[in-house]
Chain A
Amino acid sequence: MRGAPETMTVLRPKSAKEAVSLYAQDTGAMPLAGGTDFMVLWNIGLFNNRKILDLSGVRDWRKISATRTSVVIGALATHAEIRRHPLILKEFPLLAEACATIGAAQIQNRGTLGGNIANASPAGDTFPPLLVYEAVVHLVSARGKRELPISEVFAGVKRTTLLKGELIESVELPSLGKRPTRQIFRKVGMRLAQAISKTAAAGLLTLGKGGVVEDFRFSFGSIAQTAVRLTEAESLVVGKKLAPSVIDEACRLMERNVSPIDDIRSTREYRLEVSRNILRRFLEGNRT
């Protein structure tokens, strides 16, 4: 069975307001942004006879702009736009790096940040950076607006906590008070481009006086049902010096937050070891 266009109904709002009102009348419609994941499944016939809410006409949701205390990325900004945007490159380079590793040029020119989030793949490469930057997702529906921390968006494999009729409007990244001493984005896949991650990591570390850790945030994607922060390792490390015993303990605590699986891309053991090595080297201050 292939995708059959004549079985599809398409709603084509031209503004955010129209999108929200059409979606309220038809909450069963499937929102479509860049289509880089959805169309793959549609092509093999998995979504015939559906109603599509095509968001590509909602121009307001493509903008990337700065407020006094944050950068706001419209849900329909593409990975290509994000990876080369001066504000993102300067303040949130880990997100720019992540967007640069998603697919290749063709996918980056179509895929959007909002689509990546709504799709909620365990291997979504923007999620580890969004988690360490403590992004806030702005949602809108006919009932009004709502803000959700990125850590509360993912409910499981391909599931989010978005309510009926809610659309992602934008993603806000609060400015970091201080420039981190160390930061990392690292994706491990079969090849540099077009690969789905076996593991993906994002981390920030800020050292204060005497080498005491002031701030430490570390997140992994692809090694649990959703991308996760290493909450236990983080709270262990903050306030301490990075002594070998602290690093060993942080690497041990990592496993309380992650639960990698064996699948077509990797084994559980491989994922754990590679992820642990990325964390260890980051804490030891070695570039990977």
Chain B
Amino acid sequence: MKLKVNGKTRTFSGSPFKRLIEALREDFGLTGTKEGCGEGECGACTVLVDGEAVNSCLIPICQVEGRSIQTVESLGEPGKLSALQEAFMARGGAQCGICTPGMLMTAYAWIKGGGSSDRAAIRECLAGNLCRCTGYQHIVDSVAQAMKGSKKEKRK
């Protein structure tokens, strides 16, 4: 079967019931996506399927045949980070890092989908992503800053 991963068409020939997170990490070498709880509670494994945030630990790969997957690797790379990643660094939005790829992808889907930059709305958007160290304040601040930045860019 074929699917798009970070813009490239990839072929997958393993078991159709392999979970998306395992296919990404083991078959496509994209280890940025982390598995936390494995039961859809913590959001660490969040990736986008056709632009929507989903838990990759709960999806057998057969269900995403022909769909477009985006992982944290698509956001940027060292030296060329996205505004969202820069904001997480500037505002202390990451500490141990396990929740970070999921936080970034959920926030990225929210921003791309035209979500509100209101603090309460950002908190609701991130409600499915748990962090056990930095606390949520810095993460919300990071997303808010990235959204403020992207608005400024649009105005220019």
**Neighbouring A residues of B46 by C-beta, 8 Å:** 106
- In Å, the complex CA distance between A39 and B54 comes to 13
Chain A residue at minimal CB-CB distance from B46: A106
Q: Is B93 an interface residue (CB 8 A)?
A: no
CB distance from B112 to the nearest CB of A (A): 13
Q: Is A109 an interface residue (CB 8 A)?
A: yes
Q: Which 6 A-B pairs have the closest CB atoms?
A: A104-B128, A193-B127, A5-B15, A8-B17, A39-B58, A5-B17
Chain A residue at minimal CB-CB distance from B56: A106
Q: Are A35 and B109 in contact (CB under 8 A)?
A: no
- In Å, the complex CA distance between A209 and B15 comes to 65
Residues of A18-34 at the interface with B, using a CB-CB cut-off of 8 Å, are 32
- In Å, the complex CA distance between A80 and B125 comes to 12
Q: Are A54 and B41 in contact (CB under 8 A)?
A: no
- In Å, the complex CA distance between A221 and B40 comes to 22
A–B Cβ pairs within 8 angstroms, 20 of them: A8-B15, A8-B17, A8-B60, A10-B62, A40-B58, A54-B60, A54-B63, A103-B128, A104-B124, A104-B128, A105-B109, A106-B53, A106-B55, A106-B128, A107-B40, A107-B128, A109-B49, A109-B53, A193-B128, A194-B128
Q: Are B128 and A35 in contact (CB under 8 A)?
A: no
Q: Are B40 and A106 in contact (CB under 8 A)?
A: yes
Identify whether the interface residues of B are mostly helix, strand, loop, or mixed: mixed
Interface size on A, residues (CB 8 A): 27
Given A54-B63, A105-B109: A10 touches B16 (CB 8 Å cut-off): yes
Given A104-B128, A110-B54: A5 touches B19 (CB 8 Å cut-off): yes
CB distance from B111 to the nearest CB of A (A): 13
CB distance from A123 to the nearest CB of B (A): 15
Q: Is A174 an interface residue (CB 8 A)?
A: no
Interface size on B, residues (CB 8 A): 31
Chain B residue at minimal CB-CB distance from A39: B58
Q: Is A36 an interface residue (CB 8 A)?
A: yes
A-contact bits for B13-37, CB 8 A (1 contact / 0 none): 0111111000000000000000000
Chain A residue at minimal CB-CB distance from B49: A109
- In Å, the complex CA distance between A247 and B124 comes to 36
Chain B residue at minimal CB-CB distance from A48: B17
- In Å, the complex CA distance between A12 and B40 comes to 24
- In Å, the complex CA distance between A105 and B151 comes to 23
**Neighbouring A residues of B38 by C-beta, 8 Å:** 40, 43-44
**Neighbouring B residues of A44 by C-beta, 8 Å:** 38
Chain A residue at minimal CB-CB distance from B47: A106
**Neighbouring B residues of A10 by C-beta, 8 Å:** 16-17, 60, 62
**Neighbouring A residues of B14 by C-beta, 8 Å:** 5
**Neighbouring A residues of B43 by C-beta, 8 Å:** 104, 106
